A and B are shown apart, each in its own frame.
Chain A
């Protein structure tokens, strides 16, 4: 192994989110994790294991430790590595043999990617989030629309987003078929990084920021493809089908396949609706769910939990709806507890779990039963993704929260909020009256950092 000092391991996909202090019940998972631990020990790789405050989903752990920085090349054997692009890093998922190649050589042979600029102009309407932006983008360009491209998200609406919200967008680049997504680093990025354990300090910090500021596309840069969206047109988005591109505004109705002109899409829609158990033409708002899952590398960060808590606080859960809240990392859990969010979730009747991928992919015991329907803040609604026969609607954290209250797919606009409540207050800022003691949020897992990439431009 060439560079243990540029490598990190964490435990996330199949770790339990309950009873983490007991031996893992599932034998295959236990064996896999034991093997990972043994390998990490043998090769001197830093690992954050279950029970460690820095354990969690790799795409949260890298940023929270300050290991994910602008200008790096970050790879990991997981497709949602695109998340780290939010920092202006080139970050993408790789396969098993490629992981081996990186561990042995700290490089990867690659063909150059094509470039696509996705500009989101203007301001997001209240109650809409970065999740709605990315669901709308995927609905627009399709799940294959980004194939072969690295996407750069830009424009006023993107610049106004927090790091957490940027990560949500870059995370789902892969659902548009793209290899990676990125956002130019700016003051928001630097503010997030400053003071994190692995962020540069003192003079190094100044040198780093000076360099990081250069990591942006030229004003006259030409892209292989361009997409433009107006943020003002967006509203809360939900998926109705079995791929992330089958999404619509929540105010729409379930599509009627007979009305779809394209024969392939029509057949796909028919099949999706059958699997999802949805009647054509029914308002999406009337769709009843059994489970609300709030978590994953897409939306399991502190801001997501804060905005959910703000909605749930003092309200009542819909009967018969199971609500699972799973922080993306143990540090996020600690932070949420320090802010009292866990009490809000528990009072509401939600389950407050330990960190991990959990019901995002149902590789641990957190699964949907056959035919069960979820509103999920994760990123994939494939057949059986959250459990065999499970039906997934991808939603933003705000929609998930409103859905947990009403029991049907809902947004803030559907809640009985006093007339004078400003929807913009349901954001990711801390709740009133709580102090964030000691640390702020997030900490890392398997990631390079600055690996030289052969045959791709000046990556530095």
Chain B
């Protein structure tokens, strides 16, 4: 996972609360077998509306989403985070997040920063009066800076550390490479391996046919 320390990008005001995972990405997109390329799915219902914020030129390249409370409620689908990231968002700020969404974000390197609702209102005002304003999110200091204001945000220490170090779960585990290799070296030689493959002689399998 890429390290995250400070990010500066266009802020997008999303004046809605309870943005659930079905609004972030509708279930029809979940049948895809890929894990990337979900940018078209993000907020897909709203994107048909020309007045939707991401359809306005000033915000199109946004990477810091400033949303209302209870962002990411609903299903556990990791696709919600993938879609935000695929679109180009690095940070979502809200006063409250659904637990699973916050957990999934941490795993995927998306910063879900908790900002007091009055500060969200301040940010919205700036982003709406001066569309295209850049927002700087500093994970080291845990601050958000836009125009003339700087406000604090919260992420838990563990998630912050992982993001700063750029460690995903796999990266974290691979810090134990040596222990894993040492453990593997103790594996008795008679223990099974799938390769090289051993099996009974192969036999032709007759295809069953419909009986009616």
Residues of A within 8 A of B (CB): 4-8, 17-22, 28, 31-32, 35, 44, 46, 51-55, 65-67, 69, 72, 96-97, 100-101, 104-107, 109, 197-200, 204-205, 207-208, 211, 330-331, 333-334, 351-354, 438-439, 443-444, 447, 449-450, 452, 454, 460
Question: Could you tell me if A67 and B194 are in contact, using CB atoms closer than 8 angstroms?
Answer: yes
**Residue B188 CB within 8 A of the other chain:** yes
Question: Could you tell me if B202 and A53 are in contact, using CB atoms closer than 8 angstroms?
Answer: yes
Q: Which residues of B contact A449 (CB under 8 A)?
A: 191-194
| Docked pose: A352 CA to B209 CA in angstroms | 9
Question: Could you tell me if A109 and B31 are in contact, using CB atoms closer than 8 angstroms?
Answer: no
Size class of the B contact interface (CB-based, 8 Å): 35 or more
Instruction: Tell whether A19 pairs with B209 under 8 Å between CB atoms, given A97-B78, A444-B194.
Output: yes
Question: Could you tell me if A104 and B176 are in contact, using CB atoms closer than 8 angstroms?
Answer: no
**Residue B195 CB within 8 A of the other chain:** yes
| Docked pose: A331 CA to B209 CA in angstroms | 18
Question: Could you tell me if A452 and B180 are in contact, using CB atoms closer than 8 angstroms?
Answer: yes
Leading 8 A-B pairs by shortest Cβ distance: A204-B190, A200-B190, A452-B183, A197-B198, A5-B195, A198-B192, A21-B207, A105-B173
Q: Which residues of A contact B169 (CB under 8 A)?
A: 97, 101, 109
Q: Which residue of A lies closest to B104 (CB)?
A: A97
Instruction: Tell whether A97 pairs with B194 under 8 Å between CB atoms, given A351-B211, A452-B180.
Output: no
Apart from A452-B179, A454-B176, list 4 A-B contacts with CB within 8 A.
Answer: A20-B208, A198-B198, A330-B205, A460-B186
Q: Which residue of B lies closest to A4 (CB)?
A: B195
**Residue B28 CB within 8 A of the other chain:** no
| Docked pose: A444 CA to B173 CA in angstroms | 28
**Residue B197 CB within 8 A of the other chain:** yes
**Residue B170 CB within 8 A of the other chain:** yes
**Residue B107 CB within 8 A of the other chain:** yes
**Residue B51 CB within 8 A of the other chain:** no
Q: Which residues of A contact B78 (CB under 8 A)?
A: 96-97
| Docked pose: A438 CA to B202 CA in angstroms | 12
Question: Could you tell me if A352 and B208 are in contact, using CB atoms closer than 8 angstroms?
Answer: yes
- Set A101, A109, A334: member contacting B205, Cβ < 8 A: A334
Question: Could you tell me if A67 and B208 are in contact, using CB atoms closer than 8 angstroms?
Answer: no
Question: Could you tell me if A53 and B199 are in contact, using CB atoms closer than 8 angstroms?
Answer: yes
- Set A6, A53, A97: member contacting B107, Cβ < 8 A: A97
Q: Which residues of A contact B201 (CB under 8 A)?
A: 53, 438
Question: Could you tell me if B192 and A354 are in contact, using CB atoms closer than 8 angstroms?
Answer: no
**Residue B33 CB within 8 A of the other chain:** yes
Interface residues of B in 33-67 (CB under 8 A from A): 33
Question: Could you tell me if A19 and B207 are in contact, using CB atoms closer than 8 angstroms?
Answer: yes
Question: Could you tell me if B207 and A109 are in contact, using CB atoms closer than 8 angstroms?
Answer: no
Q: Which residues of B contact A211 (CB under 8 A)?
A: 188
